[in-house]
Chain A
Amino acid sequence: MSATVVPANGQRRLAGLLARWETLLVVAVIGLVALGASLSPFFLTPGNFSNLIAALMEVAIMALPMTLIIVAGEIDLSVESMAGLASAILGFLWAAGVPLWIGIPVVLVVGALGGLVNGLLVARGGLPSLVVTLGTLALFRGLALIVLGPRGVSNFPPAFTELGFGHVPGTLIPWPFVVFVLLAILLGILLHRTWVGRQVYAIGKNAGTARFSGVRVIRVKVGLFVLSGLIASLAGVILTSRLSSARADAAQGMTLTVATVVLLGGVNIFGGSGTIPGVVLAVFAVAVMQNALRLASVTVEVQSIALGLLLILSVVIPTFAHQAKSAVERVRGGRPPPADSVPHGEATPS
């Protein structure tokens, strides 16, 4: 029998906590924009914003399915290699004379298949996703190297590079940003408004109950990994287009940034909570930060320090905020802290 009964506005209190993480992000974004503007007069120009966003779009796109996977209690480290494999295959086919309208779908199918391999090993085989996707991280990258070797393919037609490099006509909005927004809306609806999303949260919070409640846990997880592979492939295509070059080592190191963005967005690494809007905000926060640093002439390599710090802080801050909150409550109310509130971007799904 529980000693404390959470009052009806406990739900509201939880929503309040949730809003707090997202608000924190919004504040962070605004703060970073101010910082950037102070560092350089070019910061607030539309052209800069365009660049600011474009460079991070592949990461942003891959962060969306990654969010769902982490909410479901798994992880996919192989996304960067799948993007690389997509780039390699695309380059290989193009160099061999295969037209892009065939090449791109082939690459997307390969992405889905790769995700299927991950999904089957993890969901049906019951293997830990950390190790499996570490293995496929190596395997897919290896396949990319086998396919394309050390060379780069760069004679892509301008219509193709327009996708990654160009803008919506009449504006400075890069096409990849449009793709990101569309995907964010789609996956946001999927996670927050459909019953598939509800099942994803259930699996992440209590896989046992989910299974006993008729949720097709295996099917959902496999589906999530297939989605991740497919979108990683798409990201690879966009990257190839933006850089106008297909390479086997494309997207190297992106997994780290993707994970950072997702965790910064308030998604709990152990699963069961997190939101798409949070991750979208985190994308902006990281984009602004990277851009500000670049304008301050900080090299890309050194930016990784900031990224790593951000990743760790994104976990530390909510933990301490929660403890502080409990301590305050205990001092004030003399009542034991409620057992339910989990600090990190806790979202009771809609």
Chain B
Amino acid sequence: MAESGATRTVGAARTRGQWLSLVARQRELSLVAIMVVLGGLVSITAPQFLTLSNLSQVAVLASITAVAAVGEALVVITKNIDLSVEAMIGMVAYCVAIVLERHALDAPAAIAFGLGIGLVLGMINGAIITLLRVPAIVATLGTLSIFRGVDYLVAGSHQVPLAGLPPGFTDPARDSILGIPIFVLVALVVVVIGSVGLRSTRFGRQVYAVGSNPEAADILGIPSRLVVFAAFSLCGLLSGVAGVLWVMEFGTINGTSATGVVLSVVAAVVVGGVAIFGGSGTLAGAALGALFLGFIANALILVGLSQFWLQAIYGVVILVAVSADAIILRRIQRATAERRAR
């Protein structure tokens, strides 16, 4: 018969299995570790990979995806998904570009305008899901179509050339402050603010609660619908930020800009350890996931593989990340069951 001492503990001493899972759960560490190893390998055949200028270019590009991935992560943590991000980014990018071209607004106002559009688009998503009770996957599949369509409608066949933008508008894409590229700083700020918010505010904890156990959240009086609405609105806002960055980076914008981005955003989130089931994951992980993907893309190009391999690699990365999550989860469950039996 078991000793009474052992029965007076909750969650006992962490077993080997739990430590293992804790480490594996530190997805961020794993990603960094892989990047380091990969970096080492790639630099053998392509020494220009590990140069500061190359790496900072990778980081700059990844920052756009990272910002959008932070927004997507917020939504996924609440046990939802937003497939319309690319359309929101494209829409914001075009609107910002066109008001600048027509001199309707100056740069700071145009940026605010862009963020506002992103926020509104996100709120539309949130409203459809929480008020009209449409499941997130259907709703955002629909708004992906609608936003994209409106974007085409507004843009027509017009393309805003680089020259149409005010001089210096695209500088932040290349400039740095204290050696850190501005884009990277923006991404860092977003991640930090978001992480602190999630960690330390009541709202942030409600985001996790709603995703972890929606029924319990309702019973405990957490305003789930409001929380989900807010998550989608923030995702829209951050897509707006990404859209502004897009204009600064690429300069030339038309009605089809940012097509295909949703895949890299969702991939970044999945790779970054945010479980698709909701309730867990970090914003930093999502951002790192974006960096990781950018890293791989760059490595491939430098090693000599054509860019056509990129899509395939993205797909494989998603599949591997999801499988890894499932395997880890199963191992935790088995360790728990075995611990119970003892």
| Interface residue B137 (Cβ < 8 Å from any Cβ of A) | yes
Decide: A312 and B138 in contact? CB cutoff 8 A.
yes
Q: Complex Cα distance A203/B139, Å?
A: 25
Decide: A316 and B134 in contact? CB cutoff 8 A.
yes
Q: Which residue of A138, A302, A305, A308 contacts B267 across the interface (Cβ within 8 Å)? A: A138
Q: Complex Cα distance A72/B146, Å?
A: 28
| Interface residue A301 (Cβ < 8 Å from any Cβ of B) | yes
What sequence of 0s and 1s flags, for each residue 256-269 of chain B, a beta carbon within 8 Å of any chain A beta carbon?
00000001001100
Question: Given A302-B149, A308-B143 in contact, is the A142-B322 Cβ separation under 8 Å?
Answer: no
B149: chain A residues at CB < 8 Å are: 301-308
Decide: A140 and B315 in contact? CB cutoff 8 A.
yes
| Interface residue A295 (Cβ < 8 Å from any Cβ of B) | no
| Interface residue A39 (Cβ < 8 Å from any Cβ of B) | no
Q: Which residue of B128, B143, B315, B322 contacts A128 across the interface (Cβ within 8 Å)? A: B322
Decide: B142 and A137 in contact? CB cutoff 8 A.
no
| Interface residue B112 (Cβ < 8 Å from any Cβ of A) | no
| Interface residue A145 (Cβ < 8 Å from any Cβ of B) | yes
Decide: B312 and A305 in contact? CB cutoff 8 A.
no
Decide: A130 and B81 in contact? CB cutoff 8 A.
yes
Decide: A130 and B276 in contact? CB cutoff 8 A.
yes
Q: How far is the CB of A319 from chain B (nearest CB, A)?
A: 6
A134: chain B residues at CB < 8 Å are: 263, 266-267, 318
**Which segment of A59-67, A119-127, A167-175, A192-200 sits at the interface?**
A119-127
Q: How far is the CB of A21 from chain B (nearest CB, A)?
A: 16
B308: chain A residues at CB < 8 Å are: 142, 145-146, 149-150, 248
B255: chain A residues at CB < 8 Å are: 301
| Interface residue A132 (Cβ < 8 Å from any Cβ of B) | yes
Question: What count of chain B residues pass the 8 Å CB interface test?
Answer: 44
8 A Cβ contacts from B172-219 to A:
none
Question: Given A131-B270, A315-B134 in contact, is the A142-B315 Cβ separation under 8 Å?
Answer: yes
A35: chain B residues at CB < 8 Å are: none
Decide: B144 and A308 in contact? CB cutoff 8 A.
yes
B81: chain A residues at CB < 8 Å are: 130
| Interface residue B38 (Cβ < 8 Å from any Cβ of A) | no
Pick 23 A–B contacts, CB within 8 A, sort by A: A121-B323, A125-B326, A128-B276, A128-B277, A131-B276, A135-B319, A136-B319, A138-B318, A139-B315, A142-B313, A145-B311, A145-B312, A146-B312, A256-B144, A256-B145, A259-B138, A301-B153, A302-B153, A308-B144, A308-B146, A311-B145, A312-B128, A312-B138
